[in-house]
Amino acid sequence: MRLAPLFLLLYILVATSCGGSQRASSTAYSNARYLADGKAQYAPGERVVQYAATLELKVKEADSTNVHLRAIAEKHQGYVVSLADGRSVIRVKQPQLAAAVDEVAALGKLRSKAFKGEDVTEQYVDLTARLENARRARERYLQLLQQAENVQAALAVEKELERVNGDIESFEGKLNKLTHLADMATITVQLQEKEKLGPLGYVFVGLWKGVRWLFVRGE
């Protein structure tokens, strides 16, 4: 039987690919040279940081404020995540975060403002290393598939290929999400509408202004 050497090699490849994944978290950052599909790249030693800002605004109308928030997001090459009366979220290009926040703050009375950054470099390194290992394993399995001498051996290799392809798809998705949130800064706006006066309220306000005007005139 010539199947034994083939399955022995298959076992070695599986063990090698699993071992590489376990070592990924300790891989030096200088080994992470690319991201899936080439959409974003980080130079060796460069930190990968996700930035966010949170503002609390008192506004006249949440609806009209949300219209401006959409415009601000589009102006700064971003998009709307959600718009609501109490809480709205937009994303803008990270280098334009400060300018966008200033424009958002001008939409009402600013009650609070906060910035934060989350360093996700370790996650980036780990996922990139795992992706590299999975891609190498896929190449080896493809070579094994070409060497398969019967249907049973081919099915065994194809099963491992299916598993590895699933890992690659998962790692690519996580990397894309991680780097997208590093490229696009998140702005969360807590909206509080100013209290609207009823008919009697406007009457009392008018009386107060009239009385104050009389006192000013009297002086």
Residue 213: predicted pLDDT: 59
Contact 35, 41 (CB under 8 A): yes
Tokens of residue 214, six digits: 């009389």
pLDDT confidence band for 29 (50 / 70 / 90) = very low
Domain boundaries, the chain: 3-38+121-177, 49-119+183-201
Tell me if residue 169 falls in helix, strand or coil: helix
Rounded to an integer, the average pLDDT of 5-34 is: 41
Distances (CA, A) of 134 to 128, 131, 211: 10, 5, 79
Amino acid at 195: E
CATH architecture of 49-119+183-201: 2-Layer Sandwich (3.30)
Confidence at residue 114, expressed as pLDDT on a 0 to 100 scale: 97
Decide which of 196 and 45 is more confident.
45
Give residue 170's identity as a one-letter amino acid code: S
Least confident of 32-41, 93-102, 186-195, 196-205: 32-41
* Confidence label for 208 from pLDDT (cuts 50, 70 and 90): low
User: What pLDDT is stored for residue 60 in this prediction?
Assistant: 94
Judge whether residue 124 has pLDDT over 60: yes
* This model's pTM is above 0.75: no
pLDDT at 26 over 90: no
Output the pLDDT for position 139: 94
Full DSSP string of 95-157: GGHHHHHHHHHTTSEEEEEEEEEEE-HHHHHHHHHHHHHHHHHHHHHHHHHHH--SHHHHHHH
Query: 3-state SS of the chain: helix, strand, coil percent to 5?
Result: 60, 20, 20
Q: Which phi and psi (to 5°) does residue 184 adopt?
A: -115, 115
Comparison of pLDDT for 200 and 160, the residue scoring more: 160
Summarised one tens digit per residue, pLDDT across range 32-85 is 333 444 455 676 678 899 999 999 999 999 999 999 999 999 999 999 999 999
> Would you give the distance in Å from CA 3 to the centre of its chain?
47
